[in-house]
């Protein structure tokens, strides 16, 4: 359902924006939010995949998968 996809996209954008801001200022809690950001990006990407006949959803899914991967990579580097 496209309305669910839109709602998840909006939530994902909010979390990604907050995480980017925390990372930009070197916030101590940025890594905590990275895990949540990766999770919601994965959820968003999967929902967008369900609507991949729409170009926006196809692009969104690709970028959300990338973002989830980058967040997980940052967490691994931070823990190591």
Q: pLDDT by residue (tens digit) across 42-54? A: 999 999 999 999 9
Please give the Cα distance from 75 to 12 (Å, whole number): 18
* Burial class (CB within 10 angstroms; exposed 0-12, middle 13-18, buried 19+) of 28: exposed
Q: What is the SS3 assignment for 58? A: helix
Q: Is the pTM of this model over 0.85?
A: yes
Each residue of 52-76: pLDDT tens digit?
999 999 999 999 999 999 999 999 8
Give, as one character, the DSSP assignment of residue 65. H
Contact (CB, 8 A) for 45 and 65: yes
pLDDT of residue 80: 60
Where do the domains of the chain lie, and which CATH numbers do they carry?
2-79 (1.20.1270.360)
């Amino acid at each position: 359902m496209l309305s669910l996809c839109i709602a998840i996209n909006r939530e994902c954008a909010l979390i990604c924006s907050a995480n980017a801001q925390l990372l930009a200022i070197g916030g101590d809690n940025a890594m905590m939010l990275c895990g949540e950001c990766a999770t919601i990006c994965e959820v968003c990407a999967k929902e967008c995949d369900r609507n991949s006949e729409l170009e926006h959803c196809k692009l969104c899914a690709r970028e959300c998968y990338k973002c989830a991967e980058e967040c997980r990579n940052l967490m691994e580097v931070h823990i190591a």
